């Protein structure tokens, strides 16, 4: 699949197959194409070559509602200018499943409550959006995505506003579901620890795809991120990267 914009090819020849239930970490430097690829996969951008398939079907021509019944997308700058309360924002995740004349029913409410609980937002459910911190908003957007009960969930840097506890909780939640997860992350150690598989983008191309040990090598970090780093394990045996500096 490829995607071009502004007279430039931004995603070039990416061939990516994600198995049901897999948690894939999408990594790569600033501008490598992670958000662009996620937008194509979410049906927000049409590929200039190739196809995006969900299951066996090409999603070209699918309505936004049909896509939202299959997959949820949490964008990086997913800020909403709204006066809604937290629970109402999360309930927006049920919109693709409601017909026009029916309000939120008991099933929807139970799904919203469960999503609020999983993101540690139950106490904030009545708070107005404008009063939330950045991390609380980020968690509410993720809860909204979970309320869609999607087959697949795409997340663009979902941990960038979260404190360490909420980062760990979110990653455990994402890897603990049977949903297919594709998550763009800048924190390589977090990606290595929690994802089944890492996909590395560089200048719009897929340059490595495999386990963390296969993808995160000193040589590749030097080549792609232009950093001098040592890849190893921390005292607990989790993946760790020691950064010496830039090359």
Ligand X SMILES: Nc1ncnc2c1ncn2[C@@H]1O[C@H](COP(=O)(O)OP(=O)(O)OP(=O)(O)O)[C@@H](O)[C@H]1O
**Contact residues for ligand X, defined by CB under 6 A:** 5-6, 10, 28, 30-36
Token pair listed for 140: 């509410």
| 6/61 with CB nearer ligand X | 6
205: its two tokens:
């191309």
- Compare residues 8 and 126 and give the one whose CB is closer to ligand X: 8
E strand spans, the chain: 3-5, 8-11, 23-27, 53-54, 57-58, 71-74, 152-156, 180-184, 197-202, 205-210, 227-233, 239-246
Q: 25, 37, 11: which is closest to 158 by C-alpha?
A: 25
Q: Considering beta carbons, is residue 30 or 245 the nearer one to ligand X? A: 30
Is the Cβ of residue 169 or residue 187 nearer to ligand X in the bound state? 187
Q: How far is the CB of 147 from ligand X (least distance, A)?
A: 25
Work out how close the CB of 91 gets to ligand X at its nearest, in angstroms, rounded to a whole number.
29
Distance CA 218, CA 201 (A): 16
Smallest separation, CB 95 to ligand X (Å): 26
Give the nearest distance from C-beta 7 to ligand X in angstroms: 8
User: Shortest distance, CB of residue 223 to ligand X, whole angstroms?
Assistant: 16
* Residue 34 vs 125, nearer CB to ligand X: 34
The answer to whether 183 and 26 are in contact (CB under 8 A) is: yes
The answer to whether residues 85 and 129 touch, using CB atoms and an 8 Å cutoff, is yes
């Amino acid at each position: 699949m490829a995607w071009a914009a502004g007279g430039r090819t931004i995603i070039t020849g990416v061939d990516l197959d994600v198995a049901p239930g897999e948690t894939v970490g999408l990594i790569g430097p600033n501008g490598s194409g992670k958000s662009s690829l996620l937008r194509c996969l979410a049906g927000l951008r049409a590929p200039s070559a190739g196809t995006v398939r969900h299951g066996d079907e090409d999603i070209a021509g699918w309505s936004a509602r049909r896509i939202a019944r299959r997959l949820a997308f949490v964008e990086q700058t997913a800020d909403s200018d709204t006066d809604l309360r937290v629970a109402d924002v999360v309930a927006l995740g049920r919109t693709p499943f409601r017909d026009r004349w029916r309000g939120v029913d008991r099933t929807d409410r139970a799904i919203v409550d469960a999503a609020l609980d999983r993101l540690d937002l139950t106490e904030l459910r009545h708070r107005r959006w404008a009063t939330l911190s950045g991390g609380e908003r980020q968690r509410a957007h993720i809860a909204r995505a979970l309320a869609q009960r999607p087959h697949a969930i795409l997340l663009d840097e979902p941990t960038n506003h979260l404190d360490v506890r909420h980062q760990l909780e979110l990653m455990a939640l994402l890897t603990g579901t049977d949903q297919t997860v594709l998550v763009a992350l800048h924190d390589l150690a977090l990606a290595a620890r929690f994802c089944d598989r890492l996909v590395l983008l560089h200048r719009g191309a897929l340059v490595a795809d495999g386990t963390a040990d296969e993808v995160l090598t000193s040589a590749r970090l030097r080549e792609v991120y232009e950093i001098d780093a040592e890849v190893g394990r921390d005292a607990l045996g989790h993946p760790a990267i020691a950064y010496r500096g830039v090359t």
